[in-house]
Structure 1
Amino acid sequence: MNLALFDVDILGQALHAAILDGDHSKLDSYSDTVLPQIWNYQDFAVWMTDMMHDAGDPTLRGTFLQMTARARLDNLFNSKTAALLHSQYQLGTN
């Protein structure tokens, strides 16, 4: 949801500038503006999904990935830095 709100905010600003001011520069740079954030969130989503799935049954992807996923989960609970980064990604404030 945060990503959609970010995206529509940037698009709204670009459309406003183009329609009311005749300035198309924000529309022209729209993809360059939003794609880095989109890829960051895609990376976070893959990381989170893999971590949650790998932490369970080791027969799915092996004991090594299970244990590294559990170590990541432990870090989220025991490291203020890891927890802060995780919460920033969840809230869209990173």
Structure 2
Amino acid sequence: MALTLSTHDFAQRLSGAFSFPCTILGNRQRRTWERLISHIKSSTSTSEFDKAAAYAEGYAQALVDSDQIEISIARDLLIIETVDAWRCARTYTNTSTNLRYPEKP
């Protein structure tokens, strides 16, 4: 089922991409991730959006590289798919994103 998602829906998908532990470090990482998503949401141009999305993708990769979170192809694909669909929706407002909500395990 193809969905045309709102900015809020895209942000919710990205917010749920990670499970941060309930620790001081986990809370700090979650707040950083939420700030990065907020920058994506508030971008007013394609270049601002691309920059904010690159920071978010880079942060996710840094968490993996520093062994703070495990490698997850499914999570990485969710982030890439969501950012790409969001970019399409911002650039071509009449285009369906064909983005599906992930199935529950």
Q: TM-score, normalised by structure 1?
A: 0.35
TM-score (structure 2 length as normaliser): 0.32
Query: Which structure is higher in helix share?
Result: 1
The structure with higher relative contact order (CA 8 Å, sep 6+) is: 2
